[in-house]
Amino acid sequence: MPDVSESAPTPVRRDAETEVADTDLFPEWFSQFLNDRQTRKPSAHTMKAYRQDFIAIATLVAGGNSTQLAVTDITKDSMRSAFAAYARDHEAASIRRCWSTWNVLCTFLYTSEQLAANPCSLSGDRSWPGRSPRLSPAPQCKPCWRLWRETKVRNAKLIGLDEISRSSSL
């Protein structure tokens, strides 16, 4: 029978929280943002997404080194350029999530008086492709339409507008 102590070591599994958790990778102001977000009890995956999205855009803004990004580097133009570059090789859902992360981050920096304004709110429309409103299918609309029409006719009769009640009997 083999000795258990001689078996191969169990590989260490890195979970979502520890995968990108080294605080040396981030400027102090971003660590403050993460601490602020942590008070809201987000999931480990949300915290990981904050870190990943920060690194992706900060690297583009800071010219390759996200640790060197200063708050003063975050401008409307730098954010537009960074997101344009990011959008070239990412799906729309990833772009929206990353934009959302940076919008929350810049709002945090603005409310803590580190930024004069939130450049995400100044940098144009955040609605990326695929965000068009969807209409309800016709079978679901018919009962609502019928109820609306009946209410309109009933109200017209109550206030004495017979011409509306006659024209609405379609």
What would the DSSP string read from start to end of 73-105?
A: G--HHHHHHHHHHHHTTS-HHHHHHHHHHHHHH
pLDDT in tens, 49-94: 999 999 999 999 998 888 889 999 999 999 999 999 999 999 999 9
Q: How large is the average pLDDT for residues 32-41?
A: 93
Q: How large is the average pLDDT for residues 145-154?
A: 63
Output the CA–CA distances (angstroms, integers) from residue 90 to 50, 83, 95, 142, in the order listed: 16, 10, 7, 40
Q: What is d(CA 59, CA 62) in angstroms, rounded to the nearest whole number?
A: 5
Contact 66, 59 (CB under 8 A): yes
Please tell me which residue, 2 or 87, carries the higher pLDDT value: 87
Give the N- to C-terminal CA distance of the chain in Å, as an integer.
86
Q: Shortest CA distance to 61 belongs to which of 36, 23, 33, 30?
A: 30
Q: How large is the average pLDDT for residues 84-106?
A: 94
Output the CA–CA distances (angstroms, integers) from residue 136 to 54, 133, 142, 144, 151, in the order listed: 37, 10, 10, 11, 21
- At 10 the pLDDT is 42
Please give the CATH topology (third level) of the domain spanning 14-122.
DNA polymerase; domain 1 (1.10.150)
**Domain-by-domain residue ranges, the chain?**
14-122, 138-167
Structure pTM?
0.61
Q: Shortest CA distance to 73 belongs to which of 121, 81, 94, 125?
A: 81
- How is residue 19 written in tokens? 């995968």
Q: How large is the average pLDDT for residues 97-115?
A: 94
- At 64 the pLDDT is 87
Q: How large is the average pLDDT for residues 126-136?
A: 49
Contact 53, 37 (CB under 8 A): no
Residue with structure tokens 């009946």? 150
